[in-house]
Amino acid sequence: MQFNFDEENSICRTVEGLKMDSTATGISRAKSLDLPPTVPQSLSPTTSAETMLIADVNGGPSLSRKSSFGKKLVGSSPGKKGGGGHHLRQTRSGNMKIDSEDLGGGASLSRASSASLGFSFSFTGFTALPEDIVSDISCFSGDEKGADLEAGQTRKRMMSEPTLPIYLKFTDVRYKVILKGITSTREKDILQGITGSARPGELLALMGPSGSGKTSLLSLLGGRITGNIIQGSITYNDEPYTKALKGRIGFVTQDDVLFAHLTVRETLAYAARLRLPKTMSRQQKEERAMNVIYELGLERCQDTVIGGSFVRGVSGGERKRVCIGNEILINPSLLFLDEPTSGLDSTTALRIVQVLHEITQSGKTVVTTIHQPSSRLFHRFDKLILLGKGHLLYFGRASKSMSYFSAIGFSPVITMNPAEFLIDLANGNITDVTIPPELEDRVQSKNSETNTRNRKPSPEDVHEYVVEAYETRVADKRKKKIMKPLPICEDLKATVSSPKRDWGANWWQQYSILFWRGLKERRHDYLSWMRITQVLAIAVILGLLWWHSNSTTPRGLEDQAGLLFFISVFWGFFPVFTAIFTFPQERAMLNKERAVDMYRLSAYFLARTTSDLPLDLFLPVIFLLIVYFMAGLRLSIQHFFLSMLVVFLSIVAAQGLGLAIGASFMDIKKATTLASVTVMTFMLAGGFFVKRVPPFISWLRFMSFNYHSYRLLLKVQYDHMPPSLNIPKLHNGMKEVAAMVAMVFAYRFLAYISLRRMKLAA
Ligand SMILES: Nc1ncnc2c1ncn2[C@@H]1O[C@H](COP(=O)(O)OP(=O)(O)OP(=O)(O)O)[C@@H](O)[C@H]1O
């Protein structure tokens, strides 16, 4: 069978001032003289006016409508002759090139033209579009009020912002993981030679059965997995991945990692303040967050908390849109999404894909994995990659996938959702599907070899056949095309490959934003009656048990020392076990935010450890007020405050230990196991239960904060009394204070180092 899968046709068309040259390849660059005064020159590489034009002509139904949009924009942004190469064209002359290599269905032209023309105003995309352009968009769109299907309301049309166009290419990508067993180590192939591309203005879907490698491929393309287990090439405007790209890539993970107690508006506002460039004021950043809320149709739930397992919040679709909003805030050039529609009903899923479609219209490149889309959803994709067991089964226009599989002999015999058909095929399931004669012949010859009768093609036979069909008939041709260098200017490449990393806020701003965000997120914990009642109940019980205790008799003194020891143990254990959860609980969020360089780890660490202090110091005050006076401890303001200070010091030191254990394991089970052994040891070494500790283990007590706080409490209460057998005599207590202050810092330093060493999860 002669298969001809050449989707490219040369089309040369002139559409109202856009002269299209089918002989040239897809990317042009031009200079616009007509810059809005708001464009920050410092942010724009080279002249800020340089433009890259990417046209992908396919003659879809929206061509004439969208090209008139393009014409209007060109009119408002006349170009001047730009630099180099025969690929470059000028916007003044209105020349736009067509990529004669990658023609197909859909609305790519419109997107490409709007993207490229929008781009002529700013590389950075953080400046508002000039008013005449915005009004052009409104005139063009006609239906600027789109229906919010989920909310049942109308909403503002998504504002298309220009961005730096990034052309994503990947050839022969192979990825394996090393699985370490107890006795042996083996390698597992996850992806085997995947080739594809996505251009600005395109929506590329990665489809395949569960475990086929979609998430792995998406993570590789998004720069989330690095190392020498990866082979092949992944380029962004023909340049390899660099850290500078972090600010241009948005990555929406499969799990919605959001703070449950923050509202939608707070979530996006904090993200905007941390991620948007320093050149924008706080007000501008917050305005931008509001724009995203309107653009994504979230205005109805903007003041609703996100919610989680124990708190009712926004709906699943709204939560997903908040995650997308978190990423589009930064106006990314490339947006990756892992299963953005999983767990959503078909209408909400369609709504999400519509949003993605709108995002591509401003020249962004969008890549998404998708599990089993409805047919309406499937038709929204421009390009498709079908994976099966880590192999590439198809890469090309989504609209041409069915004809490709029909050309290699697989067609549904009943009406079927194309996505269902493709996933079935990728699984090797050919129920209600025609079988290619070549495959039947192969199975027959196998049958005769093994003396079996009427054996149908197994899923393995089908998989093998489909992989082979793609490799022999399409793969090489595609690879050659993708490997052709892009005719783009060096400046644009430099923008992508520049190693410069820019924080959205300075250290103090990051600290303060994270501090207040932490306070807001945990405000419910602060007012948790459970915790307050727990502390109050223990305080009252202690007060009753030691009611008006008497320290003038040896037995009374011994009893009181017992109370002081209990206080030192209680305010040593309690903070350890609450601090243990701090980092493991926020691990996913920390991973997510650090992966995009949202803040410095030191700012986060300090904010996170100080934002809990107000409550941690408020509860012991109430506790001590009750116990101190009920138990009749030394009645003087000075001694009450000194006791309070000792308890504070003990709490802060113990918290440090909890933070260090939590951060070292990042696993609550392991951390609590180690913590219980440690605090038990510290308690026993505290000097109350055993007084004559063997010298070879007596050093342990110096590491115990219980030991130091107990001695200090004794000193505060009894330093006016003659030394007794039960009460150790302290000189001035400075040694104990110094030891505890050292613990406060040393444990925290250990926690910080452990966090630094934590590997960012893919
Ligand atoms: N780090 C890893 N260690 C071991 N196996 C891995 C690792 N990463 C991926 N895999 C395996 O690689 C295969 C592909 O995983 P991946 O998550 O990419 O699939 P997927 O197509 O996204 O699946 P799903 O649709 O279920 O999310 C799976 O079999 C998975 O178990």
* Band of pLDDT at residue 25, cut at 50, 70 and 90: very low
**220 contact partners, CB below 8 Å, separation of at least 6:** 170, 173, 175, 191, 230, 234
Say how many Å lie between the CA of residue 369 and the centre of ligand 1: 13
Beta-carbon count within 10 A of 323 CB: 23
- pLDDT above 90 covers what percent of the chain? 33
Average pLDDT over residues 693-700: 79
Which tens digit of pLDDT belongs to each residue from 678-693? 988 888 877 677 777 7
Contact 730, 715 (CB under 8 A): yes
Say how many Å lie between the CA of residue 131 and the centre of ligand 1: 47
Q: How many domains does the chain have?
A: 3
Per-residue pLDDT at 514 exceeds 50: yes
Q: What is the 3-state secondary structure (H, E, C) of 11-50?
A: CCCEECCEEEECCCCCEEEEEECCCCCCCCHHHCCCCCCE
Which pLDDT score is estimated for 500? 61
- Answer whether 213 contacts ligand 1 (Cβ < 6 A): yes
Taking the C-alpha atoms of residue 163 and residue 363, their distance in angstroms, rounded to an integer, is 7
Q: Are residues 21 and 131 in the same domain?
A: yes
Which pLDDT score is estimated for 221? 94
Average pLDDT over residues 168-195: 88
Q: Are residues 484 and 567 in the same domain?
A: no
Say how many Å lie between the CA of residue 215 and the centre of ligand 1: 7
Nearest alpha-carbon partner for 68 in 139, 131, 129, 121: 139
How far is residue 636 from each of residues 566, 629, 640, 713, measured CA to CA in Å?
Answer: 21, 10, 6, 14
Per-residue pLDDT at 645 exceeds 80: yes
Average pLDDT over residues 215-222: 94
Q: Quick check: is 137 in a domain?
A: yes
* Band of pLDDT at residue 526, cut at 50, 70 and 90: low
Q: Are residues 489 and 527 in the same domain?
A: no
- Answer whether 208 contacts ligand 1 (Cβ < 6 A): yes
Which pLDDT score is estimated for 735? 86
The continuous run of DSSP H or E covering 95 comes out as strand 95-97
Which pLDDT score is estimated for 694? 80
Nearest CA to ligand 1 atom 13: 211
Q: Quick check: is 301 in a domain?
A: no
Q: Quick check: is 593 in a domain?
A: yes
Say how many Å lie between the CA of residue 211 and the centre of ligand 1: 5
Per-residue pLDDT at 761 exceeds 60: no
Q: Quick check: is 162 in a domain?
A: no
Best of 175, 216, 367, 422 to mutate for ligand 1, by most ligand atoms within 8 A of CB? 216
Nearest CA to ligand 1 atom 25: 210
Which tens digit of pLDDT belongs to each residue from 389-406? 999 999 999 999 999 999
Taking the C-alpha atoms of residue 95 and residue 78, their distance in angstroms, rounded to an integer, is 12
Say how many Å lie between the CA of residue 118 and the centre of ligand 1: 38
Q: For residue 389, give both structure tokens.
A: 């067991």
Q: Quick check: is 457 in a domain?
A: no
Return the residue matching tokens 């504002």.
159
Q: Are residues 242 and 218 in the same domain?
A: yes
Taking the C-alpha atoms of residue 379 and residue 45, their distance in angstroms, rounded to an integer, is 37
Q: Which atom of ligand 1 is nearest to the CA of 387?
A: 21
- Answer whether 61 contacts ligand 1 (Cβ < 6 A): no
Q: What is the 3-state secondary structure (H, E, C) of 321-389?
A: HHHHHHHHCCCCCEEEECCCCCCCCHHHHHHHHHHHHHHHCCCCEEEEEECCCCHHHHCCCCEEEEEEC
Say how many Å lie between the CA of residue 216 and the centre of ligand 1: 6
Q: Rounded to the nearest 5°, which phi and psi values hold at 276?
A: -75, 155
Q: Are residues 680 and 708 in the same domain?
A: yes
Which pLDDT score is estimated for 659? 93
- Answer whether 178 contacts ligand 1 (Cβ < 6 A): no
Say how many Å lie between the CA of residue 201 and the centre of ligand 1: 28
Say how many Å lie between the CA of residue 213 and the centre of ligand 1: 6
Q: Are residues 61 and 149 in the same domain?
A: yes
Q: Which of 473, 497, 521 is the last residue of a domain?
A: 497
**409 contact partners, CB below 8 Å, separation of at least 6:** 1, 434, 435, 436, 437, 438, 439
Contact 638, 719 (CB under 8 A): no
Q: Quick check: is 18 in a domain?
A: yes
* Band of pLDDT at residue 452, cut at 50, 70 and 90: low
- For every residue of 702-723, DSSP letters joined together read GG-HHHHHHHHHHHHHHTTSPP
Q: Are residues 144 and 203 in the same domain?
A: no
Coil vs helix vs strand at 253: coil
- Answer whether 190 contacts ligand 1 (Cβ < 6 A): yes
- Answer whether 151 contacts ligand 1 (Cβ < 6 A): no
- Answer whether 255 contacts ligand 1 (Cβ < 6 A): no
Say how many Å lie between the CA of residue 212 and the centre of ligand 1: 7
Say how many Å lie between the CA of residue 79 and the centre of ligand 1: 48
Q: Are residues 146 and 219 in the same domain?
A: no
- Answer whether 418 contacts ligand 1 (Cβ < 6 A): no
Which pLDDT score is estimated for 347? 84
Mean pLDDT of the chain: 76
Say how many Å lie between the CA of residue 406 and the centre of ligand 1: 29
- Answer whether 253 contacts ligand 1 (Cβ < 6 A): no
Q: Quick check: is 298 in a domain?
A: no
- Answer whether 212 contacts ligand 1 (Cβ < 6 A): yes
Taking the C-alpha atoms of residue 359 and residue 332, their distance in angstroms, rounded to an integer, is 10
Say how many Å lie between the CA of residue 371 and the centre of ligand 1: 13
Q: Tell me which residue range forms the domain holding 29.
A: 14-156
Q: Report the CATH number that the domain containing residue 480 is assigned in CATH.
A: 3.40.50.300
Beta strands in 167-238 (DSSP E): 168-180, 185-198, 203-207, 230-236
Angle at 445 between CA 443 and CA 448, to 5 degrees: 110
- pLDDT above 70 covers what percent of the chain? 73
- Answer whether 273 contacts ligand 1 (Cβ < 6 A): no
User: What's the full length of the chain, in residues?
Assistant: 762
Q: Are residues 120 and 202 in the same domain?
A: no
Q: Are residues 479 and 563 in the same domain?
A: no
Return the residue matching tokens 């998404």.
368
Nearest CA to ligand 1 atom 26: 210
Q: Are residues 482 and 520 in the same domain?
A: no
Nearest CA to ligand 1 atom 29: 211
Say how many Å lie between the CA of residue 192 and the centre of ligand 1: 13
- Answer whether 662 contacts ligand 1 (Cβ < 6 A): no
Which tens digit of pLDDT belongs to each residue from 646-664? 999 999 999 999 999 999 9
Which tens digit of pLDDT belongs to each residue from 292-324? 898 888 989 999 999 987 788 899 889 989 999
Helix, strand, coil percent values for the chain (each to nearest 5): 50, 15, 35
Per-residue pLDDT at 46 exceeds 70: no
- Poorest-confidence range of 123-127, 520-524, 530-534, 721-725? 123-127
Q: Quick check: is 324 in a domain?
A: no
Q: Is 24 exposed, middle or buried (0-12, 13-18, 19+ CB in 10 A)?
A: buried
Nearest alpha-carbon partner for 164 in 235, 220, 108, 115: 115
- Complex ipTM value: 0.97
Taking the C-alpha atoms of residue 225 and residue 108, their distance in angstroms, rounded to an integer, is 30
**pTM of the complete model:** 0.72
Best of 212, 229, 255, 391 to mutate for ligand 1, by most ligand atoms within 8 A of CB? 212
Which tens digit of pLDDT belongs to each residue from 338-382? 998 887 888 888 888 888 888 888 888 999 999 888 888 899 999
Beta-carbon count within 10 A of 590 CB: 24
Nearest alpha-carbon partner for 137 in 124, 156, 154, 155: 156
Nearest CA to ligand 1 atom 31: 211
- Answer whether 761 contacts ligand 1 (Cβ < 6 A): no
Q: Which residues of 468-506 are buried (b: 16+ CB within 10 A; e: fewer)?
A: ebbeebbbeebeebbeeebbbbeebbebbbeeeeebbbe
Nearest CA to ligand 1 atom 28: 211
- Answer whether 216 contacts ligand 1 (Cβ < 6 A): yes
Q: Which atom of ligand 1 is nearest to the CA of 762?
A: 1
* Band of pLDDT at residue 161, cut at 50, 70 and 90: low
Say how many Å lie between the CA of residue 214 and the centre of ligand 1: 8
* Sign of the torsion formed by the C-alpha atoms of 308, 313, 317 and 320: negative
Q: Are residues 29 and 107 in the same domain?
A: yes
Which tens digit of pLDDT belongs to each residue from 253-299? 988 899 999 999 999 999 999 999 888 899 999 999 999 898 888 98
Nearest CA to ligand 1 atom 2: 177
Taking the C-alpha atoms of residue 167 and residue 365, their distance in angstroms, rounded to an integer, is 7
